[in-house]
A = this chain, B = another copy of it.
Amino acid sequence: MTLIDGRAIAAAITAEVTETAAKLRESGTAPTLAVLVPTDDDATAWYVRSIERAAKKVGVDCRVVQLEKPTGADVTRELDKLSADPSVHGIICQTPLPEGVTLDDVGAHIDPRKDVDGANPVSLGRLTAGLPTYAPATAAAVLEILKREQVALSGAQVAVVGRSTIVGKPAALLLLGEHATVTVCHSRTKDLAAVTKAADVLVVAVGRAHFIGADHVKPGAVVIDVGTNPTPEGGLVGDVDQAAVEEIAGSITPVPGGVGPVTTSLLLRHTVTAAQS
Chain A residues packing against B (C-beta within 8 Å) = 104, 120-131, 154-155, 157, 163, 165, 169-170, 172-173, 176, 179-186, 188-190, 195
In the bound complex, CA of A184 to CA of B165 (Å): 17
In the bound complex, CA of A227 to CA of B173 (Å): 23
Question: In the complex the two chains form, is A173's CB within 8 Å of B125's CB?
Answer: no
* Identity of the chain B residue whose Cβ is nearest the Cβ of A131 in the assembled complex: B104
Question: In the complex the two chains form, is B182's CB within 8 Å of A129's CB?
Answer: no
Question: In the complex the two chains form, is A169's CB within 8 Å of B176's CB?
Answer: yes
Knowing A121-B126, A157-B190, A169-B128, the reply to whether A181 touches B176 (Cβ < 8 A) is no
* A/B interface sample: 22 pairs, CB < 8 A: A121-B121, A121-B131, A124-B128, A124-B129, A128-B169, A130-B165, A155-B190, A157-B190, A169-B176, A172-B184, A176-B184, A176-B186, A179-B188, A180-B188, A181-B183, A181-B184, A181-B185, A181-B186, A181-B188, A181-B195, A182-B184, A183-B184
Question: In the complex the two chains form, is A181's CB within 8 Å of B173's CB?
Answer: no
In the bound complex, CA of A130 to CA of B169 (Å): 10
* Identity of the chain B residue whose Cβ is nearest the Cβ of A175 in the assembled complex: B184
In the bound complex, CA of A121 to CA of B127 (Å): 9
**Residues in B whose Cβ lies below 8 Å from that of A170:** 128
**Residues in B whose Cβ lies below 8 Å from that of A124:** 124-125, 128-129
CB of A205 to closest CB in B, whole Å: 14
Knowing A121-B122, A155-B190, A190-B157, the reply to whether A129 touches B181 (Cβ < 8 A) is no
Question: In the complex the two chains form, is B163's CB within 8 Å of A176's CB?
Answer: yes
**Residues in B whose Cβ lies below 8 Å from that of A183:** 181-184
**Residues in B whose Cβ lies below 8 Å from that of A173:** 128, 169
CB of A212 to closest CB in B, whole Å: 16
CB of A139 to closest CB in B, whole Å: 11
**Residues in B whose Cβ lies below 8 Å from that of A154:** 188
Among A104, A121, A176, A180, which residue has the most Cβ atoms of chain B within 10 A? A121
**Residues in B whose Cβ lies below 8 Å from that of A184:** 172, 176, 181-183
CB of A200 to closest CB in B, whole Å: 10
**Residues in B whose Cβ lies below 8 Å from that of A121:** 121-122, 125-126, 128-129, 131
**Residues in B whose Cβ lies below 8 Å from that of A179:** 186, 188
Apart from A155-B190, A163-B176, what 20 extra A-B contacts exist at CB < 8 Å?
A104-B131, A121-B121, A121-B129, A122-B125, A124-B124, A125-B125, A125-B126, A128-B165, A128-B169, A128-B170, A128-B173, A154-B188, A155-B189, A157-B190, A169-B176, A181-B183, A181-B185, A181-B186, A181-B190, A181-B195
